[in-house]
Chains A and B, each alone.
Chain A
Amino acid sequence: MLQISDLHARYDGKDILTGVSLSIKPGEVHAIMGPNGAGKSTLGYVLSGRPQYEVTSGQVQLAGQDLLALEPEQRVAAGLFLAFQYPVEIPGVSTMNFLRTAVNAVRKARGQAEHDAPSFLRLVREKAKALGISEEMLKRPLNVGFSGGEKKRMETLQMLLLEPKLAVLDETDSGLDIDALKVVAQGVNSLRGSERSLLVITHYQRLLDYIKPDFVHVLSAGRIVKSGGPELALELEAKGYSHVA
């Protein structure tokens, strides 16, 4: 599904990623853990094509497509989704209007029929309800005045609506209490299937109690320094990053 080969990237004149290689097969869940400043968020941004994050060498393929050659919105159409650690607030743009614009833009780019207003409303209501997102939240400007937990639920809703092949979750557990974490994890798990893959970026093991990974990688100083099974996350939790990295 995702093939990252010797990826180097730079931001603000500094080399952040210094040779990341990673292969994720359809249906697999991989976790990337690592200390602060290791380059975890940068990896997510580079995959999604954030401007000013410059790829200096390496390759990334998503479902056979050269991801780095695509604009950010084309990557979404190709099946990538990045759930942000800090989703932005957009005053004046109602959440519902934003969701419909985004979903229809992506459906159009994928050659699928766009939703009409009533059918889209039904779809959103159903998925929002499962995530504990109220009707009132959908009417409000996107993320404005939302709590940390509400923002993460909203990211999860967007992920479910955009039906990615590969979802990258950047510190989705940060700012969540345990109840919100369970709801968000349940939403993420509902997306799991033989055709979809997940890349879960997290600082703590806690999230991985609810979203069980097949593989765990440790990112340190811009490279993957260790890979293993779920037990690696527990080892990190017990002994700390300095022991491993």
Chain B
Amino acid sequence: MSPEGWPSNTLEAYRYTDLSKIGALELPDGSIQCTGSLPADILTQAGRYTLEHFIPAARCASARYLRVARGVEVTLVETLTSAAPGVGAARQKLVIELEDGARLTHLRRQQLETSAFHWGETKITVARDASYTYMALNSGAALARQDLEITLAALGAQAAVYALQLLSEDQQGDLTTVIEHQAPQTTSDQLIKNVLTGRARGVYQGRIRVAPGAQKTNGQQQSRALLLSPQAEMNTKPELEIFADDVSCSHGAAVGALDEQVLYYLRARGLSCPQARSLLIGAFVDEILEKIAAPDVQSAWQREAQTWLQQHA
């Protein structure tokens, strides 16, 4: 499997984050260094595996295929890190198939240098009674888009997407999800949170598609963004395409600043302005972070979020 290069303008037409301009950047060619503990492309042993991508200051791409065997329960910790300072443009693709009853928790940390450009594509097919959980913390890159395409292909397949973006200065971060409910009694749940300051732009474009006949489907989607500066911007767009009549689907989007009344209340209890802000933003991000089942990853992400808050809140 090889990546096909950067997308064209035509392909990008309906996106918020146009990546075609990255293709025009003059950069040397390089390659992504991938390390980690994955024993093979087909995972037959339960356990926890790592997949680490080190991105050079060059144009580069990588692609990886994984399959989780029937009934096997796996955690995959994926990280994207810059190998060197300077401008890099990395395209990275991951294709995953979950066999019947397989369970995958996918924890993805994107912590690239703020000079980097990144396009991540993750495509997952979820078979009967299998379950896929995606959790992400994105705080890096000048411009990054993660396209997440999940196909719930058979009865009882489940997906959950919980993502947190912390962006400052001129960063732009995009999460575009497409969840295809192809079979009956499939469920999906998404909670996307953005904390944006400076002139940062967050994007969430989430499509839920329920195929004809995919009855008793349950698809839930929530996007919440906290804007900490007047120039920060959130673009959010739910797209529900429902072709079955016995389904439960909902979506919600909220964009706002910290509540002045609440800040005042906290100050009237002795908290300084920074303490009050940090308590409130901490509570906002914790709703995502507390869903992480792996305690060491959870505490690492909590520390990183805390550091970000101290610098930017």
Contacts and interface: CB of A to CB of B under 8 A. Distances in A.
A102 B269 contact: yes
A197 B177 CA distance: 59
Contacts of B268: 48-50, 72-73, 76, 82, 84
A162 interface: yes
Given A73-B267, A77-B270, A102-B271, A93 B261 contact: no
> Chain B interface mostly helix, strand, loop or mixed?
helix
A162 B270 CA distance: 9
A48 B266 CA distance: 12
Nearest to A143: B265
Interface residues of A, number: 28
Given A51-B260, A105-B271, A109-B270, A93 B265 contact: no
Contact of B275 (A71, A77, A88, A105): A105
A98 B260 CA distance: 17
A70 to B, nearest CB: 11
A93 B284 CA distance: 9
Interface in B242-301: 259-262, 264-273, 275, 279-280, 283-284, 286-287
A156 interface: no
B267 A98 contact: no
A77 B268 CA distance: 10
Contact of A73 (B272, B280, B284, B286): B272
Contacts of B269: 76, 98, 102, 106, 158, 162
A102 B259 CA distance: 18
Contact of B280 (A90, A105, A106): A90
A105 B260 CA distance: 20
Given A90-B283, A105-B275, A71 B267 contact: yes
Contacts of B270: 73, 76-77, 102-103, 105-106, 109, 162
A217 B224 CA distance: 47
Interface string B158-192: 00000000000000000000000000000000000
Contacts of A77: 270
A109 B272 CA distance: 10
Contacts of A158: 269
Interface string A81-115: 01010011011110001100111011001000000
Nearest to A84: B265
B271 A73 contact: yes
Q: How large is the interface on B (under 10, 10 to 19, 20 to 34, 35 or more residues)?
A: 20 to 34
Contacts of B286: 92
Nearest to A141: B283
Contacts of A84: 265, 268
A82 to B, nearest CB: 6
Contacts of A102: 266, 269-271
Contacts of A103: 270
Contacts of B272: 71, 73, 105
Contacts of A72: 264, 267-268
B283 A92 contact: yes
A7 to B, nearest CB: 18
A49 B266 CA distance: 12
Interface in B74-117: none
B26 to A, nearest CB: 46
A211 to B, nearest CB: 21
A136 B179 CA distance: 38
B215 to A, nearest CB: 34
10 nearest CB pairs, A to B = A92-B283, A106-B270, A72-B267, A76-B270, A102-B269, A88-B265, A105-B270, A93-B283, A73-B267, A48-B268
Given A87-B265, A98-B269, 16 more contacts: A48-B268, A49-B267, A71-B272, A72-B264, A73-B272, A73-B273, A77-B270, A88-B259, A88-B261, A92-B280, A93-B279, A93-B280, A93-B283, A101-B271, A102-B270, A162-B270
10 contacts: A50-B264, A50-B268, A73-B273, A84-B268, A91-B283, A101-B275, A105-B275, A106-B269, A141-B283, A158-B269
